[in-house]
Structure 1
Amino acid sequence: MSQPLLSHQLHDEESDEHDDWKDPSTSPKASSSRKYFCIISGAVGLTLVGMLMGAFLTPLDHGNECGLQHPVNLTNKPLVRIVKDPLLSTQQTTNHTEQQQKPRNVIMMISDGLGPASVSFARTYYQYINQKPYDYKTPLDSIHVGQSRTRSSSTLVTDSAAGATAFSCGIKTYNGAVGVDPQGKPCGTVLESAKHHRNMLTGLVATSRITHATPASWSSHQKDRENEASIAAQQIGDNPLGRSVDLMFGGGYCYFLPKSDQQSCRPDERRLFEEAKHNNWTTVLHGDRKAWDELDMDPSILPVISLFTSGHMSYEIDRDHTKEPSLTEMSDKALQLLSSATKETEQGFFLMIEGSRIDMAAHSNDPATHVHDILEYQNTVALVKKFVDEHPDTIMISTSDHETGGLSLARQVSAKYPKYLWYPDVLKGVKRSTAILAGDILRTNAEDRQKVVENQLGIQDITGDELKKLAKINSAKEMDIYLASMVSIRSQLGWATHGHSGVDVNLYAYGNSVDEFRGSHENTDIGHILAQKLDLDMDAITKELNK
């Protein structure tokens, strides 16, 4: 067993400091003197100002050192007011100049299933394997501005469809709903209004099937998220609005192929890639990374579809880089294409980027796979932040639709009181996801399964009971979960569920004029703020969709 990673001890020196050093200005006598001075000087100051100005100045809504509840602004700086925004659930400080700033480009990033505990877990793991100091900050840490509350209209614990629709349409809806309201009627999305009202270019990047709940909720409308064949048709332009998306990178080309194709998921013979070409999609690729790599960084290739896998793209830990680009690589190319195409225009772009498979690893309770996808998402965040730095008219937002797995950075492994340890070296030894490994083990003779586990998971202390269990399992799902449990218990990480949880998730924002995102928000607030910043009219889109 590896050595545990121990937390750094903080010196408890505060009480000593406060006993040894006292500010003489805090003594009763000094406080009394300053109180009288403040009252007198405050009264005189207010009288003189009233005589000189002859008018009331707008007060700030906070006190000052002298205890005045409405101090006068004697500086030449713009007065700051406390404004109640009807779209937000909390008051915030803003000024008129900042309110008027409108971003040209918006990058909406979604880390599917990433909860606060997973953020801490990935940071701590990264610190350990890269020998970073205990106070190291990840790309997300430095732009943390608040929290998002995730419940849907149907339950405290949301799914990805309702969660993404809250962002895209700014409404609460039921679990399973893709771009529709609680009555099942289509709701206009941020992406659609950006395209059709602002003439912005739009894009979707995901490591799931592009027809999966999150990307689908920005670009289609279905009462049931399972209708991915219909979602695919809407995404290429078969809907009342026509084509709304200019770029799609991800997985899931099976829903674009006819039923007669061996790789198809469709229930019919529609050939959506062929239809897309007739619907003015300029570049249509599937299963061809080499062709994608060779694409010219020229606006003339837009609109573009490039889907790399029949189903979801691979977990980062399993990814064959010769066949599939990473989330960072796809995002980089999307940013280059969209920024190049809008360089000479007044209109910018809207891009949604999803780290989709963070969630799926957590469904398996597979900590090593989970952390690899989180760290890849962090790489993408660093890329996007750099883009924002180079393009100050751009803002990025990052949040999660929900938390998955109920991860805890602790595990009760015996009846005794725990020792507050965890073992990151266990995760370093894992070479593949438990989902992929489960299939490999089931194809292996029972007597050889120990060797596969030792080699691929790095577990060298398999118990007799574990060997018996490995020999008996004949279901891929059961094997996936059992292998993940073997890793989790050795690293002393805990999980509460194989589903989602209802905890608040972190909210991040970067760029000029992002103060509206600070604080604790309903997930619907995010869609409202985006619409406000881009001057969108999603109600008009909703009316058009429901004609």
Structure 2
Amino acid sequence: MFNVKSLLVVALAGFSALAAAHPDNKNGKYGKDHKDNHNDHDDDKHESRGPRNFIMVVPDGFGPASETMARDYMHWKDNSTAVLPIDEMVIGMVRTKATDSYVTDSAASATAYSCGIKSYNGAIGVDDDYEPCGTVLEAAHLEGFKTGLVVTSRITHATPATFASHIYHRDLESEIALQEIGYAHPLGRTVDVMLGGGRCFFTPNTTEGSCRKDGVDALAIARDLGYTTFQDRATFDSELKLPYLGLFTNDHMSYEADRDPAIEPSLKEMAIKGLNDLYRATKDSKKGFFIMVEASRIDHAGHANDPVGHLHDILAYNEAMLAMREWIDEHSDSPTTLISTADHECGGLTVGKEISGPPGYWYDPSFFAGAKATSGPLSKQWAAYTGSDQKGYLKSEIFAKYGVAQPTEQELSEGIALKSSASKFSKFLTKALSSRLGVNWATGGHTASDVTLFGWGVNSKTFAGSRENNEVGHFIAKQLGLDLESVTKKLQSNETWQADWVKPKAGHQRSARDLHSHHH
């Protein structure tokens, strides 16, 4: 009888070899030879003893159609047939449903990745009964591994939160901040590297831009607990000792298309710094490291149905993935496993629409060419314009910078009519470009679509196949030799902490999952 998993591995390995050998694969940004044979060699060499390090990468909201769109754009841009770095890393698919919905949110899905259990939408490191579950990051810390969280969202957002905190609802980010730094966590500090956005949940409510409702200065507490805290690019670029907490923006970090590199490092830069610093810190120890890296804003662009934001954050994710797999290949002295999969698809993206004339369908990624920014900043820029030439400004400074070089008279008139509402104009702008591209969005939320599973390095191919999302957590624990159950018992034995920080107050359980109706 044929073994389906073995057939999948063989087929994918064959595809990678063909892709690497293709004469056009040396063209374009991602077209060089990526040493597939080296990865195969590492799998064979280290499979019996497992990895020293584990990298978990979550491209939030990234579905199969998104991968197609990004690849097609690069084909057009570079006039090549080169595949994306992640195309050469495909090992399977992941099923994503939560316990209370076929369509998951990031909290439930990330809890599956961190704890190895299914839970409800909104759950941060807790089960259906609001009981805390031990995470792979916490277990790794207790076993002597160094740990890290690197994201482009707020560091207190759902995905990173599930790895280092436990609370009944994702929106309680002020409490999550205090758990992540170890102040309100029974295990103390468990994270050595934290990079991302979300400074507003760490500053007291007396500070301009604070998101907290109290006067707690979480940054000061973090420093008391041993963290170096910073918010500037210069400190990021310097040599830092663990532990450190770098928060570059008050809210989420910027979309890649809008990012100022003098202020905010890229996902690739943050990921590689995290890897290098964790590697140096563990080089002479018995244990390595665990790090979770999230390309967070792919999802946010999906919610906004913004093709420009979606595309460029996907490309940034690919750049980071290529850099991380090259890092793995270059550090054979410290065997590493990388697994990457989205928490869910977002936006219900489809590429291509039916038209009446030949060839019967329309889809053209070349319309991305002129796009220089996402719809949000451009909408605010348009709302703030006070000049007299509204039509000229709208055409040259707004539409053109979003890739719509030739707006129709009707579009210009509608754009002027929507000038006073940045949110409505933003939606109008995204529809204008999406129509020209030939892409469609089914929703402003998530979908139940399976997501692609990627792998690289030690034993990654042993995880090939179609998986439930909670199997990811079990795989991480198995590879690093972690005991999640013992961590869960430690957490659940502290009833005072659970009552104060984890569970909803008595009588509020029924509404605890409904603080907000819209989950990202």
8 Å contact 1:364–1:435 — kept in the other structure?
Answer: no
Q: Deviations over 1:188-239 (max 9, x none)?
A: 100000001x110000000000001111111111111100000000011021
Measure the CA separation in 2 of the matches of 1:320 and 1:99. 42
In structure 1, runs of 5+ residues without a counterpart are 1-60, 64-94
Match of 2:285 among 318, 323, 345: 345
Distance 1:132 1:289 in 2: 35
How far apart are 1:419 and its partner, in Å? 2.3
C-alpha deviation, 1:391, in angstroms:
2.5
- On the 8 A contact 2:403/2:433 being kept in 1, the answer is no
Pair 1:438-2:379 in alignment? yes
Match of 1:361 in 2: 301
Q: State the Cα deviation string for residues 142-163 of structure 1 (Å, max 9, x = none).
A: 1100000011111111111111
Partner residue of 2:226 out of 266, 270, 280: 280
Partner of 1:56: none
Maintained 8 Å contact 2:57/2:340: yes
Secondary structure of 1:145 counterpart:
strand
Indicate the residue corresponding to 1:292 in structure 2: 236
Residue number among 404, 412, 426 corresponding to 2:346 in the alignment: 404
Aligned pairs (5 A) from 1:171-320? 171-196=117-142, 198-238=143-183, 239-281=185-227, 283-286=228-231, 288-293=232-237, 295-296=238-239, 301-320=241-260
Q: What's the counterpart of residue 385 of structure 1?
A: 325
Q: For residues 262 and 284 of structure 1, what CA distance do their matches in structure 2 show?
A: 18
Q: Partner amino acid for 1:435?
A: G
Number of the residue aligned with 1:169 = 115
Find out whether 1:100 has 2:42 as its counterpart. Answer: no
Separation (CA, whole Å) in 2 of partners of 1:130 and 1:309: 33
Residues 156 and 502 in structure 1, CA contact (< 8 A), matched pair in contact too: yes
* CA distance 1:415–1:475, shift in 2 (3 Å): farther
* 2:370–2:405 CA contact under 8 A, matched in 1: no
Report the residue type matching 2:157 in the other structure: H
Give 1 or 2 for the bigger CA radius of gyration. Answer: 1
* 1:525 maps to 2:471: yes
Q: Specify the code of the residue in structure 2 equivalent to 1:386.
A: E
1:472: Cα distance to partner?
Answer: 2.5
Conservation of the 8 A alpha-carbon contact between 1:116 and 1:506: yes
Q: 1: CA distance between counterparts of 2:294 and 2:218?
A: 23
2:451 to 493, 499, 505: 505
Q: Distance in 1 between matches of 2:59 and 2:126?
A: 22
Aligned to 2:511: none
Q: TM-score with structure 1 length normalisation?
A: 0.79
Q: Give 1:158's match in structure 2, choosing from 99, 104, 126.
A: 104
Instruction: Report the secondary structure of 1:351's partner residue.
Output: strand
Secondary structure of the equivalent of 2:190? coil
Q: How far is 1:97 from its partner?
A: 9.4
Give the 5 Å matches for 1:7-156: 100-133=48-81, 136-156=82-102
Quote how far apart the aligned CAs of 1:415 are. 6.2
Q: Which residue in 1 is equivalent to 2:410?
A: 465
**TM-score under structure 2 length normalisation:** 0.83
* 1:471 Cα offset (Å): 2.2
- 2:367 is matched with 426
Asked if the contact 1:289–1:323 (Cα under 8 Å) also holds between the matched residues in 2, the reply is yes
Which whole-Å CA distance do the structure 2 matches of 1:201 and 1:540 have between them? 19
Task: Map Cα deviations across residues 259-294 of structure 1 (whole Å, 9 max, x no partner).
Answer: 00002111111111111111122x1112x111221x
CA distance in 2, matches of 1:454, 1:103: 49
Identity %: 42
**Alpha-carbon distance in 2 for matches of 1:458, 1:508:** 31
Secondary structure in 2 matching 1:100: coil
Hey, what's the Cα distance between the residues in 2 that align with 1:97 and 1:274?
Answer: 46
RMSD of Structure 2 on Structure 1 (CA): 1.9
Tell me the amino acid that sits aligned with residue 119 of structure 1: E
Question: How many pairs were matched up?
Answer: 446
Deviation at 1:99, TM superposition (A): 6.1
Determine helix, strand or coil for the equivalent of 2:114.
Answer: helix
Shift of 1:400: 0.3
Residues in 2 aligned to 1:375 and 1:361: alpha-carbon distance in whole angstroms = 13
